[in-house]
Amino acid sequence: MRINTGVPPSHHYVKNVWDPWTEKVDEETDGAVTIEIYDGDTLGSFGTALSDIQGNVYDGTFIIPEYFEDSDLFPYTIGPMPYAYPDIDTGNEVLEKFVDKYEDEMTADGVVLPAATVSDLYNIYSTKPVEKLDDLAGMQFRASSESNADLIKAWGAAPVQTTTGEVYQGLERGTIDATAYTNVGALGFKFYEVAPHISAVEAYGTLVAPAISQQFLDGLPDDTRQVFEDSLLPELGELARATYGMEVDDANDTLASEDGVDIIEMSDEDLSEFKEASEPVWEDWIEEADERGHDGQEMVDTWMDLLEEAGGERPF
């Protein structure tokens, strides 16, 4: 079983998810299934993960649904919307119930998604201080997807599409001035070295899902496939849901103690400007969902109701 991690071997996806799961697979299949780990983009990048799994380039990876907005995974992209959740635990509670309701509308042929998880929240890493929304005017800001680019434009910055692997070099060379990233992820990529100003906007998160090839599972002997379905796939989902929460406190403490790092705390008034500017992005999401045959307004209302039930507050 070939796993393409998409990240360096020190990344928490590897340490907290793939490494322990590899041991569980070996243990629970009595060595019948051997996992081969390919770190980084050895077999393909996150940007091609969906087609790679469907094309059996490898058998497992993480999928970031917002990279595949044109696929049937589109409903998952509600998770990374601005101010969709206030923390990891609340976000995962809302996401799990949302997926339970709409799972028939958010599938991908040939791919099994045992679970999905939200990340810790994104802050702004910049080469010069961003203390309020107006400071973003004219800045070259890394965008990870089309909807993310819409948010960046709503904030007054200029979106620049680039891969995660190119962000450090872009910040270092000045081709981009800022990126939004989770503290857990940014620590691993060391973005703070070239963008030492961290504005605590906690605007949105990443949604990721471990993905396993259906063809690989179908090729297993019946008894081994049953072990995957009954135990190993649910365990993979649990490991994925836990990883960001395991890392977030240490990441925050480490960044706060780094020499030269400038953590900018926002006032409630300044944060409200970021939040208010992002509201049209939700309206665009509803319109896009409707065009794809979903009931966008119902999906957003469901998300917001679940958010309140989980103890969160509607952002608008």
Say if residues 277 and 283 touch (Cβ distance below 8 Å). no
Residue whose entry in the numeric block shows the structure tokens 């649904």: 65
pLDDT tens track of the chain, all 316 residues? 999 998 889 889 999 999 999 999 999 999 999 999 999 889 998 889 999 999 999 999 999 998 898 999 999 999 999 999 999 999 999 999 999 999 999 989 999 999 999 999 999 999 999 999 999 999 999 998 888 899 999 999 999 998 888 999 999 999 999 999 999 989 888 999 999 999 999 999 999 999 999 999 999 999 999 999 999 999 999 999 999 999 999 999 999 999 999 999 999 999 999 999 999 999 999 999 999 999 999 999 999 999 999 999 999 8
> Which residues make Cβ contacts (< 8 Å) with residue 115, sequence separation at least 6?
96, 209, 210, 234, 236, 237, 238, 240, 241
Say if residues 306 and 97 touch (Cβ distance below 8 Å). yes
How much is the pLDDT for 10?
86
> What are residue 103's phi and psi, to 5 degrees?
-60, -30
Say if residues 79 and 118 touch (Cβ distance below 8 Å). yes
Nearest alpha-carbon partner for 157 in 165, 167, 149: 149
How much is the pLDDT for 30?
96
How much is the pLDDT for 147?
82
- Distance between CA atoms of residues 208 and 240, nearest Å: 8
Sign of dihedral through CA atoms 91, 96, 100, 104? Answer: positive
Residue whose entry in the numeric block shows the structure tokens 């469901």: 302
Residue whose entry in the numeric block shows the structure tokens 């709409």: 102
Say if residues 141 and 160 touch (Cβ distance below 8 Å). yes
**DSSP summary character for residue 267:** P
- The one-letter amino acid code at 198 reads I
Say if residues 52 and 58 touch (Cβ distance below 8 Å). yes
